[in-house]
Every structure is written in structure tokens, then in C-alpha cells.
Chain A
Amino acid sequence: MDTAPSGFAIAQVACPVLESAPVGGRYHRLVVAAPGLAARTRPGQFCHLLCRDAGGNGPFLRRPMSVWRIGADGTLGFLLHVKGRGTAALARLRPGNALDVVGPLGNGFSLPAGARRVLVLARGVGLATLAPLVGSGPAVHAVLSARAPEDLMAAEFGASSFDAVFDSDGSSSPAAVEALLRRRFERERPDAVFTCGSNRLFLLLQRLAAEYGILGQVALEQQMGCGLGMCFCCVRDIRDEDGHVTHQRVCREGPVFDLQRAMSW
């Protein structure tokens, strides 16, 4: 990892908010100016956000948030599902307010050498974590799963090539998504697959990727305390090289794990 001008890989920065706007009925986008952080952030990494509105209201601990946009113009974007006190406080921020960001954190996605095309399978706001893969090199085809068309956020994901599946019409059922993925793998086999946002879709992709011999990774979420690897709050069961199940820290060894070593959550 390259380092900040200060010589430290991870920085705490008060970032001016540039954009703050609702997306559909349940989501929110925040874009901040963070030139140093943006230059050092890789797809799949996250930041630890102090969730305080302009009046200082918000929860005690920071919240981990995937980086949704890594702007060449020195901006970082976050796409939030507004569902608790932390995300509600973030959604109250307005342009000109400051967002206190610690980052970049964790290990991002790794693309196999020479990968020309990848497939991503995202559920809900999990697409925010996967979105930085678009434009990172290989052609990206996405399968986006959402409750209903109004929740899809295909524009927020940014890939021109995607399939959308919905709970509202039954197209997001595991059987339907499996059939869709099999067609895709047989017609245009991806060099790697990536997923985030659903345990059910993770298990499906893990099984199919093993069957087709395709490398893959999953980005996991977990409650965090420090975000830096010190508190051991955010562990998940992961298989090690020998197949033994060990606790690994989502913030430190993750949040991106090998698709075959990660386990159902």
C-alpha cells in the first residue's frame, strides 16, 4: 500500500461534503472531497465514518462504509441504506458540512492477472461495494438483485451491461438466478466473479463458481468497533489454507475474502 504524505497508510480527514441527496425512497448518496484518500483507495476498500450531523448528533462509534465512488477528481462517494441512527445522521449532512473519514481500510478486490471480463452479483445496496470494479480494467457484467424496480439503482452501479432481477416479479428467486448465471457462464465465461449483499446469493455463487472453476471473491459486512484490527469485534468464520475454520477480522483480513473460503453468515 502506498502512503499518505504524512507517511501513514491510514488517515483521519475532515472531508467537505460536496453532494448529499436521497436515492429512491431508502438510500442516500454522499460525495466528499478527499484528494489524498481517493488517490489511495482501491475497489473493495472501506472507510470508517463518524456519523454526526452538523449539530454533532449521532451514535458514539463510527460506522464502516464501503467506498462506492473513487473519483479521479479526488472525490470519494458513499451510497447508504438509511436504516439506523448512524446512516440517518449521515443523510442529514449537507454540502459544506464536514464528514470525518478514517481510511482507506481493509483489503480490496484482487483481479486475476489478465482478467478481461468479470461478473458481479449484487443484492441491494451491496452494489455500492462492487461498483468501483466498473472502470477498473476488465469488462463488467452485473446481475443486480433488488426488492422492486424502484430500488434497483442501476444508474448508481454504472455498468452498461447488466441483468436486473426482482422480488416483486419472482425473478430474484435462487432458482431463477441460478439459471441466469449458468446461461451466462456457458455463453461468456467470466475470468472472475464477485458478490456482496446477500448470504443466499453468496452461497449460490460459491457453488456455481466451484463447479465452473471460476475464481471469485466476496465482500463481507460485520459490526465493527475500531475498524483497524485492534478490537476483534468483527470476526467471521473463514476457512484457512488447510480447510480449518478460523475467526478472521472483516476489517483487517477482509472485507474481501476468497469466495470458496468464506462461509455462510
Chain B
Amino acid sequence: MLTTQFLLLGAVLFCIGVYGVLARKNAVMVLMSIELILNSVNINLLAFSVRHGSVDGNTFALYIIAIAAAEVGVGLAMVLLIYRNRRTIALDDLSEMKG
């Protein structure tokens, strides 16, 4: 197995995730694209873990999985709150913060 093949798979998934974050309007779909990005990072971490013969990559992959779970929980709670207040979760319509 080559190092490059895993890193390229990670890069492809990362870029698809970035496209999803940029292109999607629905907040739930943006959260799904963020999950794609986090998974590509995990593949890279585990590939480097094998490459260096160290277990640190596994540890940090587990940390990233836990962080992603927390992020999805808070993100969906926010989406729910926005939906309750505005009856839509289209990110284009959220302009109170003038972003």
C-alpha cells in the first residue's frame, strides 16, 4: 500500500465536503458535508499512524470522532431553534449578523 493513495482519498473527500459546505443552502446538508470533511481528516490521521508505526494517530482519530458527535448535537439543536423561530433552515435567509 502506498501512502499517497490514502492521502489522495482523504483529499478527494475533503474537497467534496468543501463543495458541499459552499453549495448547499439547507443547514442539515451543510452539517453532513462537515462530517465528510472530518472523516477525510481521520483517514489521513490513521494512514500517518501506520506510516510512523505509532498509536497517536488512533488516539486523535478517536478524539475527532467524539468532537464530531458533540458538534452534530449542538449544530442540530441550533438548526431546530432556527426552524422554530423562522420556519425555515435556509442559510441564505439568516442575515441578522450581517455576515
A and B interact physically = no
Q: Which residues of A contact B (CB under 8 A)?
A: none
